[in-house]
Amino acid sequence: MLGPWDCSYRALLKTRECVLAIPGADLLAKTVAIGNCSGAEVDKFAEYKLTPCLAAKVKAPLIGEALKNLECKLIKKLNINGGELFVLQGVAAWHNPARREQRTFHAKGDGTFFIDGRQVNLRSKMTRWQDCI
């Protein structure tokens, strides 16, 4: 989720490109922690011991620990029912077959997640978004 309050939102509008990193299931708790802070206040690569890697077609870095990275360019920003929808075009994709953990996780949107069909509840860890769940 992005909005005008968010550092990533402003960066996407300014640069018109981004990297969507897809972490493995072993990085679920770290991913939630990363989402609870702002890149305007914290160097997330340093704080969470992530490795920035050079992307091929965008300036934003890939995340070395991610299972997959998608380099994207912003095509359009649409206003829909009072919200905004970003339309991105994937321009390069990366997969890390050397990662031991190849499973992904999926957010239900309420602080719970599925890993290969198993629900994991981290609502108590979602400190930044408690009023949204």
pLDDT confidence of 5, banded at 50, 70, 90? Answer: confident
Q: Which of 12, 9, 15, 76 is nearest to 38 (CA)?
A: 9
Structural domains in the chain, sorted by start: 7-95+102-126 (2.30.110.10)
Q: Is the pTM of this model over 0.85?
A: no
- Flag whether pLDDT at 133 surpasses 60: no
For 118-129, how does the pLDDT look when each residue is reduced to its tens digit (9 = 90+)? Answer: 678 888 888 776
